[in-house]
């Protein structure tokens, strides 16, 4: 396969995700937690973006907003953002997942995301100060060289642009429930998909982003109820978290 490699890429991780492509878009398929997370993460992204911009068209609140969805996989986040009017670019090092994302977007209407099989390190040099927002949802726990990753995120954002992250925390509680229970007992996550060594805490993400001229606006805790197939916000960030930051002028 023509997967992309680069300084942030762990090829084994990309291969593991590519293997999930067949049932990616089925709500009870290979990535069920990602489907149900949309109920929280899409409104979180909309609220974050529209908090600093006036909405001209209520039906398309993200019209004319340029969003980079990094590690877009099969397009679960890119598509709903495009349907809200955003000009979405989705990138992923997995060729198979990009092929799937392109195929799946054929019937969503005229405003389709643009997808590229590439890495942020390849994309960033030609897109400096370009995007209004970046989304890296359930991606940073699968990549290496996080300092470089966030440096490139900051470079591709316009001043005042927003970055939205969701990720598991680096705690024993996240290890126990997010890896051991989720992969071995509940089987709601494919076995071997998460590597605790790559997890990163919201404090460490904040520290790196602040060094890269970004201000962290908020972090929020998330919890998944597997039997209800539902995520919920919670004050407690020891399991999963969402983080919103702004690139300073």
Ligand X SMILES: C[S@@+](CC[C@H](N)C(=O)[O-])C[C@H]1O[C@@H](n2cnc3c(N)ncnc32)[C@H](O)[C@@H]1O
Per CB under 6 A, does 76 bind ligand X?
Answer: yes
CB-side exposure of 182: number of CA atoms within 13 Å?
25
Q: Which positions from 159 through 178 interact with ligand X, judged by CB under 6 A? A: none
Q: In the 8-state DSSP scheme, what is residue 93?
A: S
Contact 98, 116 (CB under 8 A): yes
66, 104, 123, 142: which one binds ligand X (CB under 6 A): 142
Contact 180, 153 (CB under 8 A): no
Per CB under 6 A, does 77 bind ligand X?
Answer: yes
> Smallest gap, in angstroms, from Cβ of residue 9 to ligand X?
4
Per CB under 6 A, does 70 bind ligand X?
Answer: yes
**Cα four-point dihedral sign 93, 241, 41, 248:** negative
Q: Which stretch binds ligand X (CB under 6 A): 9-17, 156-164, 197-205, 212-220?
A: 9-17
The pairing of strands 114-117 and 131-137 is unpaired
30, 36, 105, 119: which one binds ligand X (CB under 6 A): 119
65, 68, 73, 224: which one binds ligand X (CB under 6 A): 73
Per CB under 6 A, does 17 bind ligand X?
Answer: yes
Q: Which stretch binds ligand X (CB under 6 A): 54-62, 91-99, 183-191, 228-236?
A: 91-99
> Smallest gap, in angstroms, from Cβ of residue 139 to ligand X?
4
Collapsed DSSP state (helix, strand, coil) of residue 79: helix
Residue placing its CB nearer to ligand X in the complex, 158 or 198: 198
Q: Which stretch binds ligand X (CB under 6 A): 51-59, 88-96, 124-132, 205-213?
A: 88-96
Sheet of 114-117: strand order equals 114-117, 87-92, 66-70, 131-137, 157-168, 240-247, 214-225, 230-234
Contact 239, 178 (CB under 8 A): yes
Per CB under 6 A, does 14 bind ligand X?
Answer: yes
Kindly provide the b/e burial profile for residues 225-241, where b requires at least 16 CB atoms within 10 angstroms of the residue's own CB. Answer: ebeeeebeeeeebbbbb
Q: Which residues bind ligand X (CB under 6 A)?
A: 8-9, 13-14, 17, 34, 70-73, 76-77, 92-94, 97, 119-120, 137-139, 142-143
């Amino acid at each position: 396969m023509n997967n992309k490699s680069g300084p942030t890429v762990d090829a084994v991780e990309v291969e593991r995700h590519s293997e999930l492509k067949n049932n990616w878009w089925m709500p009870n398929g290979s990535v069920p937690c990602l489907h149900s997370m949309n109920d929280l993460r899409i409104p979180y992204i909309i609220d974050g973006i529209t908090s600093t911009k006036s909405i001209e068209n209520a039906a398309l609140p993200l019209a004319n907003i340029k969003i980079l969805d990094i590690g877009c996989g099969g397009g679960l986040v890119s598509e709903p953002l495009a349907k809200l009017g955003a000009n979405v670019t989705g990138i992923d090092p997995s060729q198979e997942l990009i092929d799937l994302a392109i195929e799946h977007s054929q019937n969503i209407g005229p405003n389709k995301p643009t997808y590229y099989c590439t890495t942020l390190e390849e994309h960033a040099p030609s897109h400096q100060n370009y995007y209004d927002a970046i989304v890296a949802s359930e991606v940073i726990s699968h990549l290496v060289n996080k300092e470089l990753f966030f440096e490139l995120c900051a470079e591709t954002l316009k001043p005042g642009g927003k970055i939205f992250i969701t990720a598991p925390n680096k705690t024993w509680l996240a290890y126990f429930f997010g890896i051991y229970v989720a992969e071995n007992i509940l089987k709601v996550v494919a076995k071997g998909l998460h590597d605790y060594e790559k997890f990163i805490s919201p404090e460490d993400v904040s520290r790196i982003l602040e060094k890269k001229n970004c201000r962290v606006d908020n972090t929020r805790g998330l919890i998944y109820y597997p039997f209800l197939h539902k995520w919920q916000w919670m004050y407690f960030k020891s399991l999963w978290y969402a983080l919103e930051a702004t690139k300073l002028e």
